[in-house]
Amino acid sequence: MKLTELKAIQLAELFSALSDASRVRIISLLIEGEMSVSALAEGLKMTESAVSHQLRGLRQMRIVRARKEGRQVFYTLEDEHVQKLYRMGFDHVTHG
């Protein structure tokens, strides 16, 4: 599999986005399904501001996507690849 310079940069940025424990914890909750910022903040015991900050970066990297309903913003994982990456990483770190 040939890796161009651009794809190498994009792949490195993806792994960089996943290198923060708060972002990984957000992904772990979003695997269960769509959640609002307030629900994520409550589940993670973080402020809504801190969660929003992390979500902004995840959205820029196309790891999550947002849907607005009134004043609430709901987030979900962008696609199944993100879930697979998370699960593979989780399996790797929990393997005996």
CATH code for position 90: 1.10.10.10
Q: Is residue 31 included in any domain, yes or no?
A: yes
pLDDT at position 67, please? Answer: 96
pLDDT value at 20 more than 90: yes
Model confidence, pTM: 0.90
For the segment 68-85, what is each residue's pLDDT rounded down to a tens digit?
999 999 999 999 999 999
As a whole number, the mean pLDDT across the chain is 95
In a domain? residue 8? no
Residue 1 lies inside a defined structural domain of this protein: no
Q: Is residue 6 part of a domain?
A: no
How many domains does the structure of the chain reveal? 1
For residue 85, which of 7, 11, 6, 9 has the smallest C-alpha distance? 11
In a domain, 15, yes or no: no
> What is the per-residue pLDDT for 1?
78
- CA 52, CA 73: separation in Å to the nearest integer? 10
Residue 74 lies in a domain: yes
Residue 96: per-residue pLDDT: 67
Residue 51 falls inside a structural domain: yes
